[in-house]
Amino acid sequence: MSSSTTQSLIESAIAQLEKLPPQQQQQVLDYIEFLAQKYIEPQPPQPRIPGLHRGKVWMSEDFNDPIPSDYWSDTKSR
């Protein structure tokens, strides 16, 4: 669609919108916002940046140690 056609379409829509009472103008705006959300183009995911949050996370020294077998059988402590 050419720029002049788009501009003409916008001007025509505004002229029609101005003729409507405020409640219907709000409904038109709501519908425009709905369409804008419905047809939004998904953005490609941003690549991860290694080391971006370095030093922000703490893990205990025993994080990778095996879980003791009594953990699974001792239901009283949980």
CA-CA-CA-CA torsion sign (62, 63, 69, 75): positive
Letter for the amino acid at 61? Answer: E
pTM here is: 0.47
Contact 17, 28 (CB under 8 A): yes
Contact 28, 20 (CB under 8 A): yes
Distances in whole angstroms, Cα of residue 8 to Cα of each of 13, 14, 25, 47? 9, 10, 19, 41
Q: What tens-digit pLDDT sequence spans the chain (78 residues)?
A: 788 888 899 999 999 999 999 999 999 999 999 999 998 888 899 999 998 888 898 889 999 999 888 888 756 655
